C-alpha cells in the first residue's frame, strides 16, 4: 500500500468478541484524533455490520461501516483471495478520502485463520476465556502468528473455570513473548493498550 492508511485485521473464533473489540476500539481511536472505518465479513447476515452501526451511532458515521459477503469462506476472504475485502476497502477510501484507519473484521473461524499481508498491515487474534483455558496451548497460526493476541471476557473467567494466569503464561510461551493483551471489551479494560499496539504499526510520515 502506498497511502498512509493503516489496515488492521481482527480475527478469531465465533463469539470471542471481535465485534465488541472493534466497538470498544473505534471511540478510543476517534478520541485520539483518528478517522476509522470498518469492513465486517459477516458469514450469513448483516448482523455484525448492523451491530457496529447501532452501537457506534453518534460516534461513527454508519456509512463508514460496510459488510462483505464471503460465500461461506471466511479464511479465503481475508487470506487466500482477499480481493473482495480489498475492493470494499478501496470503495470506502474513494468515498471517504479522510479515512486513516481501516478495520477489517473477519468472519468467525478456527485457530488457523491469518490475514494476508496485502490486506492488513497488522492483525489481532481475539480469544475469550469461555472458550477454555487450553486454547493458547492448541496454538494454530492465528494464536502464534498474529501481531497481537487478545484474550477477551476476563470478567467471566472465574465462572468458566479458566485460570487467567495459566492462559496468559501459555499464550506468552507459544507466542515467544509477542504481545498478549487481556481485555473486557464491554467495560473498556485493556482497550487503551490495544490502541497503543495498533498505533505502533503506523508508518511514520516521511
Partner 1 sequence: MTATATAASAATAASAATGGALDTLLVSLQLTDSAFPSGRYTLSHSLEGFLQAKAVSATSMPVLLTDLLRHSIGPGDATALALAHRAAVTGDWDTVAEVDQRLHASKLNRELRLAAIRTGRQLLDTAQLALGGPILDRYATLVTAGRAPGCQAVAAGVAYASGGVGTEQAVASDLFAFAVSFTGAALRLRLTDHRRAQTTLRSIAPAIKEVTAAALRREAADLGGCVPAADIMSGRHERAEARMFAS
Q: What grid cell was written down for 16?
A: 470471542
Interaction between residue 93 and partner 1 (CB under 8 A): no
Q: Closer CB to partner 1, residue 30 or residue 73?
A: 73
Quick one: which of 30, 55, 76, 137 contacts partner 1 (CB under 8 A)?
76
DSSP-assigned letter for residue 205:
P
Interaction between residue 80 and partner 1 (CB under 8 A): yes
Closest to 78 in 3D by CA, of 66, 65, 68:
68
Quick one: which of 3, 4, 63, 81 contacts partner 1 (CB under 8 A)?
81
**Containing H/E element for 22?**
helix 18-31
Closest to 116 in 3D by CA, of 50, 22, 41:
41
Q: Least distance from C-beta 87 to partner 1, angstroms?
A: 4
Interaction between residue 100 and partner 1 (CB under 8 A): no
Interaction between residue 86 and partner 1 (CB under 8 A): yes
* Sequence-distant (≥ 6) Cβ neighbours of residue 171 within 8 angstroms: 136, 143, 149, 151, 180
Q: Least distance from C-beta 49 to partner 1, angstroms?
A: 13
Interaction between residue 65 and partner 1 (CB under 8 A): no
Interaction between residue 69 and partner 1 (CB under 8 A): yes
Q: ∠32-37-40 over CA atoms, to 5°? A: 130
Residues 74, 113: contact at Cβ < 8 Å? yes
Interaction between residue 70 and partner 1 (CB under 8 A): yes
Q: Closer CB to partner 1, residue 51 or residue 137?
A: 51
Q: Closer CB to partner 1, residue 69 or residue 145?
A: 69
Q: Closer CB to partner 1, residue 72 or residue 186?
A: 72
Residues 10, 123: contact at Cβ < 8 Å? yes
Residues 19 to 58 in contact with partner 1, rule: CB under 8 A: 43-45
Task: State how far the Cα of 30 lies from the Cα of 45, in Å rounded to an integer.
Answer: 27
Give, to the nearest 10 degrees, the angle between helix 18-31 and helix 191-199. 70
Count of residues touching partner 1 (by CB under 8 A): 19
Q: What grid cell was written down for 38?
A: 470498518
Q: Least distance from C-beta 82 to partner 1, angstroms?
A: 7
The site for partner 1 (CB under 8 A) is made up of 43-45, 68-73, 76-77, 80-84, 86-88
Amino acid at each position: 500500500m502506498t497511502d498512509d492508511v493503516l489496515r488492521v485485521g481482527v480475527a478469531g473464533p465465533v463469539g470471542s468478541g471481535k465485534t465488541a473489540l472493534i466497538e470498544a476500539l473505534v471511540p478510543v481511536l476517534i478520541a485520539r484524533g483518528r478517522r476509522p472505518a470498518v469492513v465486517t465479513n459477516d458469514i450469513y447476515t448483516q448482523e455484525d455490520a448492523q451491530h457496529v452501526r447501532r452501537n457506534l451511532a453518534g460516534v461513527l458515521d454508519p456509512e463508514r461501516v460496510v459488510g462483505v459477503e464471503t460465500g461461506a469462506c471466511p479464511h479465503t476472504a481475508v487470506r487466500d483471495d482477499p480481493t473482495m475485502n480489498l475492493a470494499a476497502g478501496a470503495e470506502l477510501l474513494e468515498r471517504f478520502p479522510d479515512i486513516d484507519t481501516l478495520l477489517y473484521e473477519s468472519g468467525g473461524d478456527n485457530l488457523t485463520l491469518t490475514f494476508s499481508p496485502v490486506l492488513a498491515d497488522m492483525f489481532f487474534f481475539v480469544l475469550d476465556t469461555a472458550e477454555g483455558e487450553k486454547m493458547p496451548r492448541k496454538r494454530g497460526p492465528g494464536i502464534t502468528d498474529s501481531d497481537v493476541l487478545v484474550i477477551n471476557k476476563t470478567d467471566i473467567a472465574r465462572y468458566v473455570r479458566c485460570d487467567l494466569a495459566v492462559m496468559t503464561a501459555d499464550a506468552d510461551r507459544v507466542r515467544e513473548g509477542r504481545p498478549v493483551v487481556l481485555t473486557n471489551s464491554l467495560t473498556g479494560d485493556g482497550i487503551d493498550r490495544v490502541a497503543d499496539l495498533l498505533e505502533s504499526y503506523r508508518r511514520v510520515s516521511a
